Structure 1
């Protein structure tokens, strides 16, 4: 079978046999809205409707009442100029939030609002990312007591982990790494929500010996103040762009957060994915679980406590995608809309219900848990800087903790650090001088 490839971003999506009428409508609308290079910019929808056009009303008015209303012309033109300025100045996702994006301002929470949805899915990814470091060679000699060469024929799993600076970041990545150390033929894509590269993280990832790519992929500033903020979206979009830029079409894509818990059997299961595989995720919302409903070996519905009109109400950790299948869809995307990232991503790859492959013993087993660590602010302790020199380990220890974002020492702030000996607190000078 020849390898699939990513079509150019301006090439129309090739149609496939599909008995799902809604999917056909989506692809038709995506093809209609996608424009080739050099084509005119998309027009503002309400200007295209003659009967509702402000200019049309202006022309009627001027014909009826003459020059008395001609003074409205500068105001209308100014309004149109302002709308056009907003349309072409702001980013695509900002235009969507303003009701100016895609194919209209309708809600995309249901199939009735397909114009807005198509506007999201027909735009190519253009994410801000910076390649910090990469390790392309597996430095592990053995995995699960077998030499690495015995795994040469396995498909590679591209394990995408969005992360962001916080007190728990480094310990959670460390915990996840010690799960991934047991998984052969895996490339770890770590995308950090940070403007610059984290040198400490570079050294840490390299030290594990797992093939990896470290990306800096900050969230666009216009989304940072949103509540809730679309956390992790820029990171996953950056990873999708990284895969596309390298034309990687052989392997399995999986989105794995740094605070989840993974059964090692999960990796053997998803490695068999032909198109899209799905499985239940534990610790999700009110039901304590989210996942497919399987009848006679086929996915027929979904169990999730938050539907919100989503066609695919699944958790990000509850599915895997074959890259060869995904490569058929040049406009793979994920919108900045909290709660709808999974649904819109799966729509962008043209998924049908009858294509889903249930895993985890017909979705009866939990192989991934949505565990979460309670987040706290980094600690600050009062510990005089004169005692953070080479006379003890404390100087090096707190420098390391500060780099990791866990804790820092201060001469004036925070509770005073207690040093004890024989069960009794002692002054720093007594112990360290």
Structure 2
């Protein structure tokens, strides 16, 4: 409600919409689209291992954007994140893909691009996992026009690799091409605020990450 010129796509993992949710959206005064996108049965009925949560929802949102938007920037918001309003001012000018730190993620305490001398030099995350784009879902924004030039871009039903798979599907696009926001990734403008106690963040390897943005981020973390 504090962000100008915003369209909110609310997409539930459900088989029908909920009148209570619709009432809240109407009262908000926001421009919104309320949709459903249930998880496919082959994933919902899995009895072992993690499930690809939120994938059908986000792919439904991508389809809506392709059909209804011409310009702008999209961002995958979630109900367990907290946002600084400055974030929305920054991502508004994304030309391709912008990246920025996310606080309270894994034992590392933060997920962020590593920036040395103003240049991208890798990713810092509690779980790299062989990912080309080791980012959190809340750590990037994408230009609508850039997406529409890549009609095959989609998010995979692969737990733990949703972000990586989606960003790789925007090829040709390399991590070093990303726009580094939040003052060269030295500020945290979005936090993964789950209702649980977090362990202290892991100590930073000062030799490995000397002269990088991580030194400034570490001062923010506990």
Give the TM-score normalised by structure 2. Answer: 0.84
The structure 1 residue matched to 2:174, chosen from 338, 352, 366, is 352
Aligned to 1:199: 19
Task: Measure the CA separation in 2 of the matches of 1:349 and 1:331.
Answer: 8
1:225, distance to aligned residue in structure 2 (A) = 3.0
**Does residue 276 of structure 1 match 2:89?**
no
Work out which of the two has the higher radius of gyration on C-alpha atoms and give 1 or 2.
1
The structure 2 residue matched to 1:236, chosen from 58, 61, 66, is 58
Task: Measure the CA separation in 2 of the matches of 1:196 and 1:250.
Answer: 30
Unpaired runs of at least 5, structure 1: 1-180, 375-433
Task: Measure the CA separation in 1 of the matches of 2:151 and 2:13.
Answer: 25
Q: Give per-residue Cα distances to partners, 1:205-264, cap 9 Å, x unaligned.
A: 011001001001111111013321111111101101111222x23000100101100001
Task: Measure the CA separation in 2 of the matches of 1:326 and 1:300.
Answer: 24
Aligned to 2:140: 319
Task: Measure the CA separation in 1 of the matches of 2:141 and 2:17.
Answer: 28
Aligned to 2:109: 288
Query: In structure 2, the residue corresponding to 1:299 is in which secondary structure?
Result: strand
Aligned residues: 193
- Kept in 2, the 8 Å contact 1:300–1:353? The answer is no
- Aligned positions of 1:184-263 closer than 5 A: 184-226=4-46, 227-246=49-68, 248-263=69-84
Q: Give per-residue Cα distances to partners, 1:174-197, cap 9 Å, x unaligned.
A: xxxxxxx11001100000111011
Task: Measure the CA separation in 1 of the matches of 2:148 and 2:113.
Answer: 24
Runs of 4+ in structure 1 deviating by more than 3 angstroms, as ranges, are none
- Aligned positions of 1:303-342 closer than 5 A: 303-342=124-163
Q: Give per-residue Cα distances to partners, 1:360-399, cap 9 Å, x unaligned.
A: 111010000011136xxxxxxxxxxxxxxxxxxxxxxxxx
RMSD of aligned alpha carbons = 1.1
Task: Measure the CA separation in 1 of the matches of 2:42 and 2:195.
Answer: 27
Question: Which of the two has greater helix per residue?
Answer: 1
Aligned to 1:373: 195
Unpaired runs of at least 5, structure 2: 197-222
Task: Determine which structure has greater relative contact order: mean sequence separation of CA pairs < 8 Å that are 6+ residues apart, divided by chain length.
Answer: 2
Task: Measure the CA separation in 2 of the matches of 1:205 and 1:373.
Answer: 24
1:349, distance to aligned residue in structure 2 (A) = 0.6
Q: Give per-residue Cα distances to partners, 1:21-68, cap 9 Å, x unaligned.
A: xxxxxxxxxxxxxxxxxxxxxxxxxxxxxxxxxxxxxxxxxxxxxxxx
1:297, distance to aligned residue in structure 2 (A) = 1.9
**Does residue 299 of structure 1 match 2:120?**
yes
